[in-house]
Structure 1
Amino acid sequence: MNDQFDVTLEDSVLLGEVELTTNLMVAASRSERHLTTEEIDRILGVTPDDD
């Protein structure tokens, strides 16, 4: 018997976003102050544009 609710889904983009959000939340909770923009960029893997 097939269960219509037994569906395996994997969304690699969503999993990546969850990982980034989790990393940011952990870093923020460990810090005793607000994170700087540079720290947030580093945690998220953002590189500044070279204009």
Structure 2
Amino acid sequence: MHDQFDVTLEDADLLGEVELTTNLIIAASESDDHLSEGQIDDILGVVPQPRQAQ
């Protein structure tokens, strides 16, 4: 008999966001001070864009 509540859900984007959030929470809890923007960027894997000359 099929159980209508036995459903496997997987959302790769959501799982990725949960992992990033978890990494931020862990880093913040291990830090004695506020995380800098650079530290947060490193944790999130943000690559700074080069500035364009004006």
Q: 1:49: how far off?
A: 1.1
**Who wins on radius of gyration, i.e. which is larger?**
2
Question: Which letter does structure 2 place at the counterpart of 1:8?
Answer: T
Measure, in 1, the Cα distance between the counterparts of 2:16 and 2:49.
22
Alignment: residue pair count: 51
Query: For residue 23 of structure 1, what is the aligned residue in structure 2?
Result: 23
Gaps of 5+ in 2: none
| Distance in 2 (alpha carbons) for counterparts of 1:5 and 1:33 | 45
- The amino acid of 2:44's aligned partner reads L
Give the alignment's Cα RMSD to 1 decimal. 0.6
Structure 1 consecutive aligned stretches of length 4 or more whose deviation exceeds 2 Å: none
Structure 2 counterpart of 1:2, one-letter code: H
Matched, 1:32 2:32: yes
Query: Gapped runs of 5+ residues in structure 1?
Result: none
For 1:46 and 1:24, the matched residues in 2 are separated by 13
Amino acid in structure 2 at the alignment position of 1:18: V
